[in-house]
Structure 1
Amino acid sequence: MPDFDSVLTDASQLSVEDQLRLIEALASSTPEDQPPPLTNEWIEEIGQRRREIEAGSVSTEEWSTIRARLFAKHGVRDERTSGEGARGPILNARD
């Protein structure tokens, strides 16, 4: 089985479109009952963002809107036809 570094090296040579497709395929294949471990910094950031949303001090966007903007920004055609991402609305992407 190839190791992480060799896969990363190969993946970095893909076109942007194929890199995005690979990211989506990998994210979709991650079991929802086995989320990746979060650092304390990420846990604090998530808590802060949750508090901002609950206080109404920030606005949110649907993942499908953010995804479309990112695909357009990189000139990549989005082959996905419709539907909201599995994670639901998230904070405005800082791209």
Structure 2
Amino acid sequence: MAHPTEDILAAALSLPEGERLKIASELLASVGEPHDDAWDAAWLEELERREQAVRDGGSEGTPWSEVRARVLARLGAG
């Protein structure tokens, strides 16, 4: 018998990317420290800086498959 979390994860992974990002964002927002406006502003500034670097041709970014592999390796799950 599958665990409810496995069923939920399987259903979430079948959604389009935009919906998965929304779910991920909501889940992350639901845990951890209380909301910090300064941290949110700093993170948004960093995201905008990185986006501009890509637009300016100064950064090509890293494919998600590579980033995911590195994260999983760090977590000992890869």
Q: Under TM normalisation by the shorter chain, which class is it?
A: 0.3 to 0.5
Higher normalized contact order (CA 8 Å, seq sep 6+, divided by chain length): 1
Higher helix share: 2
TM-score with structure 1 setting the length: 0.38
